[in-house]
Amino acid sequence: MSKYLYGASVQGIQGFIFETNKLKEIVGASQLVDNINEIVFKKFCKDKVGHVLVEDNVILNAAGNIRYIVEDVEVIKSMVKYFPKYITNYAPGITISQAVVEYEDDLKGAISELERKIKTQRNKAQTPADIGFMALERVRRTGKVGFFEVRDKKTNKIEDVIDRGTFQKTENRELDTTVLFSKFAGRDIGKDVIPFDIEDITNKGENSSWIAVIHADSNGLGNVLQNLDKNLNADEKVKDVRRRFSNALKDATKSAAQEAFKSVINETWQDKIESSNEQYPIRPVVLGGDDLTVIIRADLALKFTESFLNAFEKETDKHFESLRQYGLTALTACAGIAYIKDNYPFHYGVHLAESLTKEAKKFSKSKEVQGGENMPPSSVAFYKVQSSFTESLEDMIKRTHYVNGNKYLFASPYLIKPKNGYRTTKELKTLVKNMEKYTNDKSKGISKLRQWITEVHNDGPKAEFMMNRIREVNKGFYNDLDLEKERKAKTTILLDAIDLHVFNVTYAK
């Protein structure tokens, strides 16, 4: 008897979420996407199709992706016909790529064919739901058709016009958007202490408003699934193990995020925030499957990322315990951190964080780093945006961190655990900690080090002279920071350490 494997994937999640720089809209969009998996698909099946979702037939339901087995041809026809429009009405601006594969006794083959079909569908252009006529008013921020007039409560004058997507992201959603934060924190969090504006995260004047966008993603997930399928034969086993794997990965990612949250904002700090009605200096944006995207105060970003990557490896090992017989072991992950000013366009910040994650993955998967290990080691790459240029990561690094072909100021990526002598986050943090001892030093060693980095760009001999002077006048500073090693190294971590030190001083409590 024929069965039908249905697949749907949300297109353009990042573009939908980061369409504007308003945090309230960003987190509202994020919750809409999260609800598609948690609430909306089940509600659609019941209300629109007249079908009660069978949990055992759900192979994947996370991060905007749905894979579901249906046995009734009329049900599958209704799902394909109505689901895209249902989602468009629920979250205007989101589009769905969907496909169906009919099969009898080869679920593994059906899964492979479905993924190929969905990939093809993604490349097909889709017509926006709200095109609108020329005479209709447009929203200045998004260029879309106006849908709702925002009026002053006292004068009733029109203050703004928003499109349908923005309306869905913001209208009466403050309670709804606490759901993702509570899942991230591991307990219920009241809306009064959850940030809805970037200023709530930085809690500083505009001269100090550095934030970070963190993106993290697991390593080698495609290879893991291929190896998993090799150990499975019967369709029922494929369905059961795939479903259990998906749920275990989702739970492991959530647990790792919760552990990272607690490591950065301990219970004492949480109590202080909630008793004084301050706002948490962090906001989760995406938490699903093996993906994590977070907006966080700049000085907390590296500690959070390092903690998450360590916890992800530990939690996947723990959650995969019941699947060990199928060859599953702990996964690793890589992350990118884009340090940006709060007025820098978020979608560029997210794109930069994703590019940095790819850079970290490329590094971890190289023969020199991975070696003969089954899984690449966890690593993190970061970059501080110092200008308004929106170039590729490669071009920005060449322009700001590469010096006359003989010195490299971009030391990322950093490994989380030591291996083969490569730079680690522990080594970087040790250097930053040593710098902190000299923050208020009268000899101004850190200031001189900044000048040295500037001169490295401008004039090699003068930079050499300045470093010799630091060695003579600031001997303790020179030795504590191991500047002899850094001045000789082709790639130095000094610029990265200075950037992190500045964040720590700026946000020092």
What pLDDT, on a 0 to 100 scale, did the predictor assign at position 489?
A: 82
- Domain ranges for the chain: 3-122, 184-385, 432-506
* Counts of helices then strands in the chain (DSSP H, E): 21, 14
What pLDDT, on a 0 to 100 scale, did the predictor assign at position 205?
A: 53
What class, spelled out in words, does domain 184-385 have in CATH? Answer: alpha beta
In one-letter notation, the amino acid at residue 3 is K
Q: Coil, strand, or helix at residue 201?
A: helix
CA distance 329 to 447: 47
What pLDDT, on a 0 to 100 scale, did the predictor assign at position 135?
A: 67
What pLDDT, on a 0 to 100 scale, did the predictor assign at position 464?
A: 86
Instruction: Tell me the CATH number of domain 3-122, given options 3.40.30.10, 3.30.70.270, 3.20.20.370, 3.40.630.10.
Output: 3.30.70.270
Instruction: Provide the 8-state DSSP code for 49.
Output: I
Q: Coil, strand, or helix at residue 226?
A: helix
Q: Label residue 395 by pLDDT band (50, 70, 90).
A: confident
What does residue 9 show for φ and ψ, rounded to 5 degrees?
A: -135, 135
Closest CA to 201 of 273, 268, 257: 273
Q: Label residue 509 by pLDDT band (50, 70, 90).
A: low
What pLDDT, on a 0 to 100 scale, did the predictor assign at position 208?
A: 60
CA distance 2 to 74: 13
Q: Which residues contact 349 (CB under 8 A, 6 or more apart)?
A: 18, 213, 338, 340, 385
Closest CA to 262 of 182, 185, 178, 183: 185
What does residue 198 show for φ and ψ, rounded to 5 degrees?
A: -60, -35
Q: Which residue has the tokens 């990526």?
A: 413
DSSP E strands, 131-230: 146-151, 158-163, 210-218
- Write down the pTM of the prediction: 0.90
**Exposure string over 296-326, b if 16+ CB within 10 A, otherwise e:** bbbbbbbebbbbbbbbbbebbeebbeebeeb
Q: What is the mean pLDDT of the chain?
A: 87
Closest CA to 217 of 324, 364, 393: 364
pLDDT one-digit tens code per residue, 454-478:
888 776 788 889 889 989 888 889 8
Q: Cis ω on the peptide bond leading into residue 413 (within 30° of 0)?
A: yes
What pLDDT, on a 0 to 100 scale, did the predictor assign at position 172?
A: 59
Q: Cis ω on the peptide bond leading into residue 461 (within 30° of 0)?
A: no
Q: Label residue 204 by pLDDT band (50, 70, 90).
A: low
pLDDT one-digit tens code per residue, 307-345:
999 999 999 999 999 999 988 899 999 999 999 998 888
Within this chain, domains 3-122 and 184-385 share the same CATH topology: yes
